[in-house]
Structure 1
Amino acid sequence: MILLTFNILNIEAADQKTVEISDVERLKITVDNTKAILRILDIHDIKASFFVEISIAEKLQNLIKAISSKGHEIAFYNKDSSLQQIEETKKNIQALLEKQIRGIRQKDFKQPQDSLKLLEFNYVSNIDNANILFPFKRLKRNTEITEEDGLSIVPESISPYFQLPYNDFMFQILPMKYYRNMVFETLKNDDFVLVYINSWQFTDFKKYKFDIPYYRSLFSGKKMEDKLDALLTWINENDMATSRMKDYIF
């Protein structure tokens, strides 16, 4: 099973010295990038899970409704929000959608699992930092979903042969032929492959002058759209199963 997920969050990089990109414009970039992702998913009739960053979720109500109306899952991405902020946002978005938010994803700042259970989340999908040196670390990690504190804990996927994680940086930088081979080989060994991609990776960095490392701008923007399109084409041509996170876990 392929679990295709997207983190919907504003780009955090600073502006280049000659420009100033406002918070409003950053939010618009996030919306436009997400619409590009939705368009590609629609073409291939594939459903995914969208982890929306909590601090901007209520500013993206129209986008969240559009994502949900197309049959995709809405979950949360916690960057650095307090438990009170998470609870309030969860309540408001659930009222907006008339659906329960089951999942949450965290990276650097992690709220306790027992507290997340009290907020009525059902699963946690935490991720690691993805920098240029990360792929060179020897990775050993459980790749099975476990139960802790009443929550389903979904680990990141790792290729058992190439020893590479399925994080946002790997998707952006690896040639698609190599990436497809990773997916194919991993599914021979594991029950699922969890893929995650950030919305900001679809930004046109020639148009928007952010101060980001060169390796992070490689194959971004339209090239990311083309790569996602190529992956979904391959998935459908090979009749490979995909699922939203909540459907697969429950």
Structure 2
Amino acid sequence: MILFTFNIMNIEAGVKNDLQITDEERLKITEDNTKAILRILDIHDVKASFFVEISIAEKLKNLIKAISSQGHEIAFYNKNSGLQEIENVKKNTQDFLEKQIRGIRQKDFKQPQESLKLLEFNYVSNIDNANILFPFKRLKRNTEITEEDGLSIIPESISPYFQLPYNDFMFQILPMKYYRNMVFETLKNDDFVLIYLNSWQFTDFKKYQFDIPYYRSLFSGRKMEDKLDALLTWINENDMATSRMKDYIF
């Protein structure tokens, strides 16, 4: 099973040449990037899970509604929010969607699992930092779903043969032929492949002069759209199964 997930968050980088990009403009970039992702998924009839960053979720109600109405899962990405904010945003989102939010994802700042369970989350999908040296830091990890503190803990996937993680940077930088081979070989060994991308990777960095490392701007924007389209085309041509996180787990 292939689990496609997308982290919906504003790009935090500064801007080159003393230019200014307002919070409203950053939010609009995030919305436009997410709509591009939705369009590609719709073309290929693939359903995914969208982890919306908690601090901007209340400002993206129309986008969240559109994501959900197209059959995708809404979950949360916790950047640095406190438990009270998480609880409030979760309740408000569930009320206007009339659906339960089951999943949460964290990276640098992690709330205790027992607290997340009390907020009635069902699964946690934490991720690690993904920079240019990341693949060399840790080559082995558990890739099986476990139960802890009443929660399903979903690990990041790693290729058993290439020993590379399926993080956002690997998708952006690897040639598609190499990436497809990773997916194919991993599915021979593991029950699922968890792929995650960030909405900001779909930004046109020639148009928006964000100050980001050169290696992070490579193959971004429209090239990311083309890579996602190419991967989904290959998956459908080979009749590979895809799923939302909550459907696969429960």
**TM-score if structure 2 supplies the norm length?**
0.99
Runs (4+) of structure 1 exceeding 3 A deviation are none
CA RMSD of aligned residues (A): 0.5
Paired residues, what number? 250
Q: Which residue is equivalent to 1:146?
A: 146
Ranges in structure 2 where 5+ consecutive residues have no aligned partner? none
Q: Which residue is equivalent to 1:38?
A: 38
How many percent of aligned residue pairs carry the same amino acid? 88
Is the CA contact (8 Å cut-off) linking 1:9 and 1:30 kept in structure 2? yes
1: CA distance between counterparts of 2:49 and 2:69? 13
Q: Which residue is equivalent to 2:66?
A: 66
| Paired AA for residue 124 in structure 1 | V
Deviates more, 1:50-59 or 1:131-140: 131-140
Q: Which residue is equivalent to 1:137?
A: 137
Is the CA contact (8 Å cut-off) linking 1:3 and 1:243 kept in structure 2? yes
1: CA distance between counterparts of 2:197 and 2:139? 20
**TM-score if structure 1 supplies the norm length?**
0.99
Query: Do residues 188 (structure 1) and 227 (structure 2) align?
Result: no
Q: Which residue is equivalent to 2:236?
A: 236
Q: Which residue is equivalent to 1:223?
A: 223
| Paired AA for residue 240 in structure 2 | M
Q: Which residue is equivalent to 2:23?
A: 23
What does 1:1-250 align with in structure 2 at a 5 Å threshold? 1-250=1-250
- What SS does the aligned partner of 1:3 have? strand
Structure 1, residues 49-91: CA drift from partner, whole Å, max 9, x if none?
0000000000000000000000000000000000000000000
Is the CA contact (8 Å cut-off) linking 1:183 and 1:193 kept in structure 2? yes
Deviates more, 1:14-23 or 1:68-77: 14-23
1: CA distance between counterparts of 2:101 and 2:139? 31
2: CA distance between counterparts of 1:198 and 1:15? 19
Shift of 1:93: 0.2
| Paired AA for residue 214 in structure 1 | Y
